């Protein structure tokens, strides 16, 4: 199976590192005209140069930032709502401002962008909207309830939007990565396990934490998540819509997510 996205324009939010950058690279490698996004103009410029794609710096966690982006990029064929933030906090210590901040970035960004782009996709008879959710949306960790809430919300959003655009040639899906090796994780390991080589840091992290439930026995790599997203963005996935697709390494211990 060869995925060919030639002639398609793709926007990947939060794509200057991690899953977002890997997704942008995978889509560009399949022929798409990719636009990456982030808040920092410097980081966007660096990532765009690294990947050989276009970049737009805009804070899609705000209405003004979203408007800035859509003014510069009025239409896309593939929208990957990847941007997300998280913190580790006991649930009863999370303030109203923090609940609202994480909701604005993780949930409202995707709502605003889909509200702009999806009707245009419907008008052209083809499109892909993809929410990068998480396995925590199905099994919330106690110390990240606010983050898990936003990931559960994305599952409801993708299903509801898929129902709204039924029969139009536009599909809406979510993917659910499990714990994924990222720049932030590596920095955390440096604090948790100073002096150990990366392989041993990963072994300890997996064996001592909630990731011990992974059937892979390791963290997922960003490119592994990106591979699923590239498939969902393709013509080959035309019968897949309204779905929550796991790429969690077996973290969710059920047959269905």
Q: Is 22:230 a contact under the CB 8 Å cutoff?
A: no
Distance of CA 14 to the CA centre of its chain: 8
What is the spatial distance between Cα 209 and Cα 250, in angstroms, rounded to a whole number? 15
- Candidates 50, 10, 59, 51; CA nearest to 33 is 10
Note if 147 is an active site residue: yes
Beta-ladder partners of 131: 81, 174
Contacts of 155 (CB under 8 A, 6+ apart): 131, 133, 137, 138, 174, 244
Nearest to 235 by CA among 169, 161, 158, 159: 169
Question: What burial letters (b/e) apply to 190-201, b meaning 16+ CB within 10 Å?
Answer: eeebeeeeeeeb
* Placement of tokens 């714990």 in the chain: 179
Number of CB atoms found within 10 A of residue 232's CB: 23
Annotated catalytic residue within 117, 147, 193, 231: 147
- CA-to-CA distance for 57 and 43, rounded, in angstroms? 9
**Catalytic machinery residues:** 147
């Amino acid at each position: 199976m060869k995925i060919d996205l030639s002639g398609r324009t793709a926007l990947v939010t939060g794509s200057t590192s991690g899953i977002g950058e890997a997704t942008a690279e995978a889509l560009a490698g399949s022929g798409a005209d990719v636009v990456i996004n982030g808040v920092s103009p410097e980081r966007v410029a660096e990532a765009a140069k690294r990947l050989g794609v276009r970049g737009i710096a805009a804070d899609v966690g705000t209405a003004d930032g979203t408007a800035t982006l859509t003014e510069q990029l009025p239409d896309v064929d593939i929208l990957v709502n990847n941007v997300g933030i998280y913190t580790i906090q006991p649930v009863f210590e999370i303030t109203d401002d923090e609940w609202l901040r994480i909701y604005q970035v993780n949930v409202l960004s995707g709502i605003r962008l889909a509200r702009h782009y999806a009707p245009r996709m419907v008008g052209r008879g083809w499109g892909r909207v993809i929410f990068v959710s998480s396995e925590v949306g199905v099994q919330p960790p106690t110390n990240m309830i606010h983050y898990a809430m936003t990931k559960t919300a994305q599952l409801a959003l993708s299903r509801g939007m898929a129902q709204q655009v039924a029969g139009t040639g536009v599909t809406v899906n979510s993917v659910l990565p499990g714990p994924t090796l990222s720049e932030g994780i590596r920095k955390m390991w440096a604090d948790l396990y100073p002096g150990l080589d990366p392989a041993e840091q990963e072994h300890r992290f997996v064996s001592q934490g909630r990731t011990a439930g992974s059937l892979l026995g390791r963290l997922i790599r960003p490119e592994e998540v990106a591979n699923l997203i590239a498939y969902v963005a393709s013509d080959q996935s035309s019968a897949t819509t309204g779905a929550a697709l796991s790429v969690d390494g077996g973290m969710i211990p059920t047959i269905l997510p």
